[in-house]
Structures are given as C-alpha cells and as structure tokens.
Structure 1
Amino acid sequence: MNKKGKIVLGILGAAAAGAVIGLLIAPDKGSGLRKKIAKAANDFACDLTDMVMSNRDKLSHAKDQIVKEAKGLKSDAETRFGRVKESFS
C-alpha cells in the first residue's frame, strides 16, 4: 500500500474510532447506542470498501498499461535483434 493509501486508511480509522468514542460517552439508551454504533460501523465499512475498490481499479489499469508497454518493448527488442543478426550475416 502506498503512502497516500495508508494516510487515507489512518484518517478513516481515526474518524471511526472518534465516532465510536463520541457515541460511548453520549447519554443514550443502550439500544439507541447500539444502533448508532452499528450505523457508524456500516458507514466505515462502506467507505473502506469504496477505497479498496477504487484502488483495485487503478491497480488493474496500471497492470494493463505495463503489460502493453512490455509487449511493445519486446517487439522493439526483437526487431533490433533481427537487424543486428542480419548485419552479421
């Protein structure tokens, strides 16, 4: 995971922890508190899933570009090798 991803994950984790702590110290009934915690946890999970899926798409795109570039380099190397080989014949 890159530095930017770690920072985002840290911020999301801190926000979730802050929300849970805020709910725990708020004067609420147990059932209301559990609902609020469940909602906060669900929101956090959705945000985390969105971040992972976004990075997965970026990684897949980068992989496709690398493969395309590698194929082009291979083709170029084969062409150059062929020229060098012909020059020695």
Structure 2
Amino acid sequence: MHLAGHEYELQLEKLRKEKDDDREQHNISLEAYKTQKLKDMEYVEERVKGVLEAKEATITQLKLELRHLHQQLLESANSILDDDNSDVASRTAEL
C-alpha cells in the first residue's frame, strides 16, 4: 500500500509539473501574441502617419499651385484693364 501511495504521489507531481509547464508555455505564447499585435499596431500607425504626411504635402503643393494660378489670373486681369485704359485714353485724346 505504501508503494501505491508513493506511485500516486509521483504521478500527482508529474501532473502538476505538466500543468505548470503548460501554463508557462501558454504565458509565453500569450506574450508572443501580444508582442506581435503591438508590432502590427506600430506598423499600422507608421503607415497611417505616412499617408497623412503625404496628404499634407499634397495639400500644401495644391495651395502653392492655387496661389500661383491666382497670381497669374490677377496679372492677366490687370493687363486687360491696362489695355482697356489705354484704349479709353487714346480715344479720349482723339476726341
């Protein structure tokens, strides 16, 4: 009977060790999963930052182009007005 009790204790200790090993392996797997998810989130965050920076650069470039076109439009309008004023002045001088 004493031998059976000892055998039982050995089996019980073996099961406890397996349970502890399983728990440790689970914790390691869980940490690896968390680490990978964190890396994935950091990657996505960097991609989003890149997209936002590219959009901001595009907006800035479009604003510059718009200012340039606006300046050209003003110059053309002033040129037309100057031509009209010259015509009016020459007609007035003729009268």
5+ unaligned residues in a row in structure 1: which ranges? 1-26
Aligned counterpart for 2:70 among listed residues 67, 76, 81 = 81
The number of residues matched between the two structures is 63
Q: CA RMSD in A?
A: 1.8
TM-score by length of 1: 0.62
What's the offset of the Cα at 1:30?
2.0
Residue equivalent to 2:19? 30
Aligned counterpart for 2:48 among listed residues 59, 72, 75 = 59
| Larger-gyration structure (1/2) | 2
Structure with bigger helix share is 2
Structure with the bigger RCO (C-alpha within 8 Å, sep 6+) is 1
TM-score by length of 2: 0.59
What's the offset of the Cα at 1:85?
2.0
